[in-house]
Amino acid sequence: MERVRTRLRALAEPLSDVSVRRLWYARTVSEAGNWAARIALTLHVFAVTGSPLTAAAVTTVSLLPHLGIGQLLGTLADRYPHRTVMVVSDVVRGLLFLLLAVTDLPVGAVLGVAFLAGLADPPFTAAYSAALPQLAGDRYLAAQTLFTGTRQAMTLVGFAAGGVVVAAVGTAPALGLNGLSFLVGVLFIAGIRSTRSRDAADREPLIRPAVRALVSDRLIVVSVAVVTMGTLLGITVESLMVAYAAHLGVGPTGAGLLATVPPLAAFATTFFLPTEGEHARLVRLVCRTVSVMAVVSFAVFAVDSPLPVVLVGFLAAGALDVMTVPAGVVIAQRLPQASRGTAFSFLEGLLMVSHAAGALAAGALAAGTSVSTAAAVLTVPAAATAGLGLLALARARGPRSVGLEAPALPGVPVPVGVPD
């Protein structure tokens, strides 16, 4: 118990900064509403169409804005103050979800509005990812761990509440609460101190330097690949949760409760994440965790297990999402500040491309075979990529190995990435 209290104090330390605290408030409120709306839309589409593939499309359309146009929108985070970009993005999302709440649109139109709301996500994520290292300073790893753990907790609350609200009173209230949550978040974000990636007069290109920084560092490349494939398993479970609940015979409320298992696992995992460490060691941790959890998930899903055992597979898949914390810290600290927002928009785009493809593949496989088979097949990319990542790191020996040197970035302390 004392260890838990010590860990909680360490995680809460970044909140002593008022700007970090207000940003945390904003993210906490909007994340709960967002995930409640996600399951509400999925349940609505599945109820209308009865199709696992169409229900998975809810996840897909929310991710599509990250393809191509998302990278262009993400450059706004390096052109304008981060606070401004976040405020405008949340206002757009809030109004569009309120529109969904007060109208009765056909499924195609619902998916269209969800896509438009998703267009606000790339610039917000890029601005948030660029702002947090500057706001948190040398407490960035603790702040990132806190924000990710809170996001998982709010995903847990949102999924559970969304399932219960939809079962009790329908879809519209869940969507309306989500719209209001974004607007409440705006009030908090408006009070944080202003940060920006570069001087307003700096008009140097953004995209090419960001891409060059991403592909020239071995640890960044391995981190990106392993996290992308690891979280692919998580999105597979999310996109199939309604169909999986129907397969298990537990209904809409059961779908909401089943959906809480992965975020619960991720939230619990945050208590065991390191709060500091050498970059190479952190990336090895990510690779090893992804490989083990993917194998566990495969063993569960491949035999079409009953509900108690399926929960183990969901837990293993959920633990992978929190691996974005150590990987994200390594990436953020090794990227140049001037193009960090743009670089993160590319990373988010890559992540979302894999998620969109994974959601569609999961829906198609489930329609053609079964939900358990679909989930089992999509554990393979995670396990394979993690194994290849460990092999790539094993080839690098000593602090002078290419891609393992820690670049000196202004304002962000960087641990030296020496392999253990």
Q: Quick one: which of 340, 343, 328 has its CA closest to 285?
A: 328
Residue 415 lies in a domain: no
Residue 206 φ then ψ, to 5°: -110, -40
Residues in CB range of 101: below 8 A, 6 or more apart: 172, 173, 175, 176, 178, 179
The answer to the question of residue 321 being in a domain is yes
| Total domains in the fold of the chain | 1
Distance CA 213, CA 168 (A): 50
- Structural domain contains residue 214: yes
CATH number of the domain where residue 332 is located = 1.20.1250.20
Judge whether 4 lies within some domain: no
In-domain check, residue 403: no
Q: Which residue in this structure is represented by tokens 């290109």?
A: 205
Interatomic CA distance for residues 324 and 330, integer angstroms: 10
The answer to whether residue 227 sits within a structural domain is yes
Rounded-to-integer distance, Cα 90 and Cα 407, Å: 33
Helix runs in 103-139, H state only: 107-118, 121-136
**Count, residues in the chain:** 420
Strand partners, 330: none
- Give, for all 420 residues of the chain, the pLDDT tens digit: 566 677 677 778 888 899 999 999 998 888 877 777 777 888 778 777 777 777 777 777 877 787 777 778 888 888 889 999 999 999 998 999 899 888 888 888 888 888 888 888 888 888 888 888 889 887 887 888 888 778 767 776 776 677 777 777 777 887 888 888 889 999 999 999 999 876 655 556 667 788 888 888 889 989 898 988 888 887 788 778 778 888 888 776 667 677 778 777 777 777 777 756 788 888 998 999 999 999 999 999 988 888 888 888 888 888 887 787 788 888 888 888 777 777 877 887 787 777 777 877 888 888 888 888 988 998 999 999 999 999 988 876 544 444 444 443 434 444 333 333
User: How many angstroms separate the first and last alpha carbons of the chain?
Assistant: 30
258 C-beta neighbours (distance < 10 Å), count: 23
Angle at which helices 340-368 and 324-334 pack, to 10 degrees?
150
CA angle 413, 419, 420 (to 5 degrees): 110
Which pTM was predicted?
A: 0.65
Q: What is the SS3 assignment for 415?
A: coil
Q: Which domain holds residue 29?
A: 14-196+205-394
Residue 314 lies in a domain: yes
User: How many whole angstroms separate alpha carbon 392 and alpha carbon 402?
Assistant: 11
DSSP classification of residue 193: P
Instruction: Establish if 402 belongs to a structural domain.
Output: no
